[in-house]
Amino acid sequence: MSTPLAWPLRREYLAPSLTLRGREFAWGARTFIMGIINASPDSFSGDGLGADPAAAARQAAAFEEAGADILDVGGQSSRPGAPVLDAAEEARRVIPCIEAARATSALPISVDTFHAAVADEALRAGADAVNDIWGLRFDDDLPAVVARHGAALIAMHNQRGRAFHDVAADIAAGFRETLAICERSGIPHARVILDPGFGFGWTPGQNLEMLRRLPELWEFRLPLLLGTSRKSTIGLVLDAPVDDRLEGTAASVAVAIAAGADLIRVHDVAAMARVVRVADAIVRANWSPPTSP
Please list the active-site residues. 231, 265
Number of DSSP helices (H) and strands (E) in the chain, helices first: 9, 10
How are strands ordered across the β-sheet holding 32-38? 192-195, 152-156, 129-132, 109-112, 70-74, 32-38, 263-266, 225-226
Rounded Cα gap, residues 112 and 158, in angstroms: 14
- Alpha-carbon 118 to chain mean position: 18
Of 222, 238, 150, 217, the C-alpha closest to 186 is: 150
DSSP code at position 15? S
Give the alpha-carbon dihedral of 29, 176, 162, 152, to 10 degrees: 50
- Alpha-carbon 34 to chain mean position: 6
**210 by DSSP, 3-state: which?**
helix
DSSP code at position 200? S
Q: How many CB atoms lie within 10 A of CB 117?
A: 17
Alpha helix (H) ranges present in the chain? 53-66, 87-104, 116-124, 142-149, 167-185, 204-212, 232-238, 246-258, 269-283
Rounded Cα gap, residues 91 and 142, in angstroms: 15
